[in-house]
């Protein structure tokens, strides 16, 4: 009997201690769950707000479509508006036509666009990057498997790039410093025409073999007071009477592809939606994170 009672007591104590343990675990789980639930809900709200930021940006793109020329290379702004407590939205819009389209070095039929390839070579040279990389990139994109340099076809993709980031797969471009030097000036989107209202110096320099840094600076000086309203106005820039006509088919005065980055923060949880859209609102790239 005593033994039985003794055992019963031990079992009861054991049960109590197990139950207490369970309750503590349970309370802890509930605490963890509700805080991750609140993070989850903040993240969901931030995602939705960032997506609506993309939506809002299409108004800017519609405006760009209607304009005969655009001269904003990059604009970043907080969006005024009430998105709820602790919620903020900011938008960055970037003219992809201010950059050199790296896919343009290969024609859609697989042939090499020698003019564009020499532009890429010139861009690399100007940025103090090994210009031979232009040949490796050409092999990476072109459909054939004939190497322009030893090993340059070994792991090639043999088709067009979907994103500038893919260049990091190419040996010689993997180096973060090299990629970081060239990435602000290149794109894989657009109509292969550079917007002379928004392109920066390295992109202007690589437009033609005849373009010097001094000439490219003339474009920048000129547009500071007079944005280009049409491409033919390039001949009004001092020094461009002849070369201006030669580059007419490589230039534009308005952006038609834009990178839109919408960043929303809700109670310190941030979500970002990045896209590349053209002015007919076709989406060429979309990334959420
Ligand atoms: Ca190839």
Could you please report the per-residue DSSP string of 161-229?
-SSGGGGGGSTTT-SHHHHHHHGGGEES-SSS-EETTT--HHHHHTT-TT--HHHHHHHHHHHHHS--S
Nearest to 86 by CA among 267, 263, 264: 267
Q: What are phi and psi of 21, to 5 degrees?
A: -55, -45
Looking at the predicted structure, is the pLDDT value of residue 217 above 70?
Answer: yes
CA of 183 to the centre of ligand 1 (A): 22
CA of 137 to the centre of ligand 1 (A): 9
Distances (CA, A) of 199 to 101, 263, 278: 12, 25, 17
Q: What is the pLDDT of residues 147-169, one digit of tens each?
A: 999 999 999 999 999 999 999 99
CA of 30 to the centre of ligand 1 (A): 56
CA of 159 to the centre of ligand 1 (A): 8
Distances (CA, A) of 211 to 89, 104, 119, 167: 41, 19, 10, 26
pTM attached to this predicted model: 0.85
Specify the pLDDT at position 84.
85
Q: Which two tokens stand for residue 286?
A: 């979309």
Q: What are phi and psi of 75, to 5 degrees?
A: -135, 135
Looking at the predicted structure, is the pLDDT value of residue 39 above 50?
Answer: yes
Instruction: For strands 186-187 and 100-101, give the pairing.
Output: parallel
Q: What is the pLDDT of residues 168-191, one digit of tens each?
A: 999 888 888 999 999 999 999 988
CA of 104 to the centre of ligand 1 (A): 14
Q: What is the pLDDT of residues 114-152, one digit of tens each?
A: 999 999 999 999 999 999 999 999 999 999 999 999 999
CA of 138 to the centre of ligand 1 (A): 7
Looking at the predicted structure, is the pLDDT value of residue 21 above 70?
Answer: no
CA of 171 to the centre of ligand 1 (A): 14
């Amino acid at each position: 009997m005593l033994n039985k009672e003794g055992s019963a007591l031990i079992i009861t104590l054991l049960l109590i201690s197990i139950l207490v343990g369970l309750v503590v675990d349970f309370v802890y789980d509930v605490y963890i769950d509700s805080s991750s639930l609140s993070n989850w809900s903040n993240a969901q709200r931030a995602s939705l707000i960032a997506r609506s930021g993309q939506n809002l940006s299409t108004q800017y793109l519609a405006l760009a479509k209607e304009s005969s020329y655009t001269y904003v290379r990059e604009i970043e702004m907080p969006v005024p508006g009430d998105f709820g407590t602790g919620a903020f939205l900011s938008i960055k819009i970037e003219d992809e036509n201010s950059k050199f389209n790296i896919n343009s070095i290969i024609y859609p039929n697989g042939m090499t666009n020698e003019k564009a390839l020499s532009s890429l070579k010139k861009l690399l040279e100007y940025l103090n990057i090994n210009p031979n990389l232009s040949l490796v990139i050409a092999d990476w994109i072109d459909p054939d498997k004939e190497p322009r340099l030893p090993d340059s076809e070994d792991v090639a993709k043999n088709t067009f790039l979907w994103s500038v980031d893919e260049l990091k797969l190419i040996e010689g471009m993997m180096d973060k410093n090299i990629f970081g030097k060239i990435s602000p000036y290149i794109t894989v989107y657009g109509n292969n025409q550079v917007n002379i209202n928004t392109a920066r110096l390295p992109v202007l320099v690589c437009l033609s073999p005849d373009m010097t840094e001094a000439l490219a600076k003339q474009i920048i000086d000129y547009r500071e007071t007079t944005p280009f309203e049409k491409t033919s106005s390039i001949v009004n820039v001092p020094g461009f009477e002849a070369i201006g006509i030669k580059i007419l088919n490589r230039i534009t005065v308005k952006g038609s592809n834009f990178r839109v980055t919408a960043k929303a923060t809700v109670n310190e949880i941030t979500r970002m939606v990045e896209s590349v859209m053209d002015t007919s609102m076709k989406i060429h790239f979309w990334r959420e994170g």
